[in-house]
Amino acid sequence: MDVLTQNFSLYGEGFWGTVKLTVYSSLLALGVGVVMAGFRVAPVRALRVVGTAWVTVLRNTPLTLLFFAMLLGLPRFGVALPFELFAVLALGCYTSAFICEAVRSGINTVPVGQGEAARSLGMTFGQTLGAVVLPQAFRSVIAPIGSTLIALTKNSAIAGSFSVVELLSTYKTLSENGYSVIWSFVWIAVGYLILTLTISALFHAMERRWGVAR
Amino acid sequence: MRTPAPHPPHRVVAVLGRALAAALLLGTAACGAAGSPPARGPQPGKLPHYAVDTSFSLPSSPTWKSARERGKLIVGVKEDQPGMGEKNPATGTFTGFDVEIAKMMAASLGFAPGRQIEYKAIASANRETALQNGQIDYYVGTYTINEGRKKLVGFAGPYYIAGQRLLVRKDEKRLRGPQDMAGRKICSAVGSTPLQRIQSDYPRAEAVAYDSYAICVDNLLNNQVDAVTTDDTILLGYAAKDPGALKVVGKAFSKEPYGIGVPRQDRALARALDEAITAREKDGDWKRAYQVTLGLSGRPAPKPPRVDPALTR
């Protein structure tokens, strides 16, 4: 308990850093993920290729490698951005590949007749996807997207090694200052639990409200 | 939806692949230019040999007794600090000043440095745990003696006094110390004491923190940061590896007495190590070890510190 009370501001800063990373990266991942899922089912071949390449590259690359590529590679080409932005980009793009696949699997649960009906009414591809297919797809992908965002929360710990303030790296400061590693970790775990259980509860409520009962 | 034609996607993938390969090549070319000059550092053939005290016996130390029964010492070291403790990933051998100290200590305790030491790379955060759990017999790895650690482990020494300084690019003229760092980027390891000191004492400097000093040094060479700061021993190690591009500047602005970490209750071992340090400082082994490791940076050997008997009382 002493570890927490004596270092409350350090833990607070770390917790807040992880919250920010999670929220911004989640928004980026959800946005890009849904767009990429749209690309993957688009009637235009070039868009399908972009969507497939995006998912193939990002889903099959270790996240740490992505961080290294962004933080050490990009500056060599003259791109220098704040560390937090690099971290949000790396985390958001990486997770967007998983969101994309979850959304695409949701799209596949929507009966073909729905899309055909929309098109026979004269709806464009955008209208079909936005007004008919995605709203139905969304209902079946709430649980997998929740899991993906929980994974994102925990993955954000990697950013701590790249000059971003986040929860896990507080243990390094605490250990250096002579605190017991075990108790430092216990409070860090509690911090992550608060975040992940909040996400779980949120998605559970969404599922109760909108999920498909089969 | 139309059925996709068989070829075009492949062509796009091929073009993407070529672009990626070109980018990678450019990246490695940049590395070759600035990041990785020919490796320099301690040369295995030139390392001194230490006389083994074969008649040594210390039955009052439980650590020494179990090491004798085992037939070898298990020594904790660092693996990522050139000049102090660095592991060669190809051969698996450890080199550096701390490693030399570990070897001469083993020789004084009656173990042959070549055959009877098993090195274990232990990161800073795990040092106390490793000593408390008996995973290692003693630890030599830029281990600053301080009050918090004295409650957890025992110390012999100090065997070297380091201080926090700055590592800058060779062509840097203006940076002489942390007071010149206002608005400039300064890099150190996440959570480390040197980083905390910069953040609290020099808040106008822009602190950057990575997991390892190697990334800091890479950033320094690529102009992403303006200085790297930590104990001068570690900085001298990097400067010795790349003397054409890096230099250590300014006066030390902290005092870091390095000790050998031992299990807390094993006072007998700490006292034996204290005696060994004093003897090795007197007979010149300490200086020889410095010259083949940290001395490669061009900085002459300082006067070795006196061991602190209060630590083992």
Residue of B nearest to A77 (CA): B27
Domains and CATH numbers, chain B: 45-162+257-312 (3.40.190.10), 164-249 (3.40.190.10)
- Reply yes or no on whether the pLDDT at B11 is more than 50: no
Model pLDDT, residue A17: 94
Spatial contact of A37 and A100, defined as CB atoms under 8 Å apart: yes
Mutate to test the interface with B, among A116, A172, A182, A185 (most CBs of B within 10 A): A172
CB A168 within 8 A of CB A87: no
Lowest mean pLDDT among A109-113, B42-46, B213-217: B42-46
Is pTM beyond 0.90 here?
Answer: no
- pLDDT tier at A72 (50, 70, 90 boundaries)? confident
Locus of tokens 């030390």: B252
For the ranges A135-144, B13-22, B169-178, B209-218, which has the lowest average pLDDT? B13-22
Whether pLDDT at B2 is above 80: no
Q: Is residue B1 scored above 60 in pLDDT?
A: no
Distance (Å, whole) CA A104 – CA B26: 36
Q: How far is A4 from chain B (nearest CA, A)?
A: 16
Is A83 in contact with B27 (Cβ distance < 8 A)? no
Give residue B38's pLDDT.
46
Q: State which amino acid sits at residue B57.
A: S
Give the confidence band of B304 by pLDDT, cuts at 50, 70, 90: confident
Q: What is the 3-state secondary structure (H, E, C) of A121-183?
A: CCCCHHHHHHHHHHHHHHHHCHHHHHHHHHHHHHHHHHHHHECCCCCCCHHHHHHHCCCCHHH
Residue-wise pLDDT for B129-183, tens only, equals 899 888 999 999 999 998 888 888 999 989 999 999 999 999 888 888 888 888 8
Decide if A173 touches B, using CB distance below 8 A: yes
d(CA B186, CA B171): 17
Whether A181 sits inside 8 A of B215 (CB atoms) is: no
Query: Which of A:98-137 have CB within 8 Å of B?
Result: none
- Whether the pLDDT of residue B29 is over 70: the answer is no
Question: Which residues on chain A are in Cβ contact (under 8 Å) with B147?
Answer: 178
What is the mean predicted confidence (pLDDT) over B228-249? Answer: 88
Query: What is the predicted pLDDT for the residue at A74?
Result: 82
- Each residue's pLDDT tens digit, B285-295: 899 899 888 88
Range name among A118-127, B16-25, B178-187, B221-230 with the lowest pLDDT average? B16-25
CB-CB neighbors (< 8 A) of A172 in chain B: 125, 189-192
What was the pLDDT predicted at A141?
93
pLDDT of residue B5: 43
pLDDT for A175 equals 81
Per-residue pLDDT tens digits for A61-70: 999 999 988 8
Q: What is the mean pLDDT of residues A79-104?
A: 92
| Whether the predicted pLDDT of B186 surpasses 80 | yes
**CA distance to partner chain A, nearest, from residue B275 (Å):** 28
Residue B135 DSSP SS3: coil
Chain A residues with CB under 8 Å of B192 CB are 172, 176
**Cα–Cα distance list, A136 to A39, A108, B186 (Å):** 18, 10, 52
B217 → chain A, closest CA residue = A72
Q: Is A83 on the interface with B (CB under 8 A)?
A: yes
Structure tokens at A121: 């009414």
Higher pLDDT, B183 or A201: A201
Q: Does A205 touch chain B (CB under 8 A)?
A: no
- How many interchain CB pairs under 8 A, A with B? 76
A76 touches chain B (CB under 8 A): yes
Q: Is B9 on the interface with A (CB under 8 A)?
A: yes
Place of tokens 């490791």: B293
The percent of residues in chain B predicted with pLDDT above 70, rounded, is: 86
pLDDT reported for residue B20:
46
Mean of pLDDT values over A41-64: 94
Which residues in chain B (114-143) have CB-CB distances under 8 A to chain A? 124-126, 128-129
Residue A52 has pLDDT above 80, yes or no: yes
Q: Between these two residues, B26 and A106, which has the higher pLDDT value?
A: A106
- Which of B12, B146, B190 shows the shortest C-beta gap to A49? B12
Answer whether B208's CB lies under 8 Å from A83's CB.
Answer: yes
Residue with tokens 């106008």: B204
Mean pLDDT computed over every residue of chain B: 82
Listed ranges A27-41, A158-172, B106-120; the one with the highest mean pLDDT = A27-41
The tokens of B167 are what?
A: 């590592």
The pLDDT value given to residue B16? 45
Buried b (16+ CB within 10 A) or exposed e, B209-229: bbbebebbbbbbbeebbbbbb
Tell me the chain A residues in contact with residue B12 when contact means C-beta distances shorter than 8 Å.
Answer: 46, 49, 53
Q: Kindly tell me if the per-residue pLDDT of B283 is higher than 50.
A: yes
Q: How far is B209 from chain A (nearest CA, A)?
A: 4
Residue B35's pLDDT is what? 45
Are B208 and A178 within 8 A, CB to CB? no
- Higher pLDDT among residues B37 and A206, named by residue: A206
Average pLDDT value over all residues in chain A: 91
Query: Is the peptide bond preceding residue B302 cis, with omega within 30 degrees of 0?
Result: no
| Fold that domain A2-210 belongs to in CATH | MetI-like fold (1.10.3720)
Residue B227 is predicted with a pLDDT of 93
Task: Provide the 8-state DSSP code for B223.
Answer: T
The pLDDT, as a whole number, for residue B82 is 86
- Six-digit token string for B114: 């070549």
Predicted confidence at residue B14, as pLDDT, reads: 47
Residue B60, classed as helix, strand or coil, is: coil
- pLDDT (mean) for A24-32: 96
Tokens of A210: 């909108």
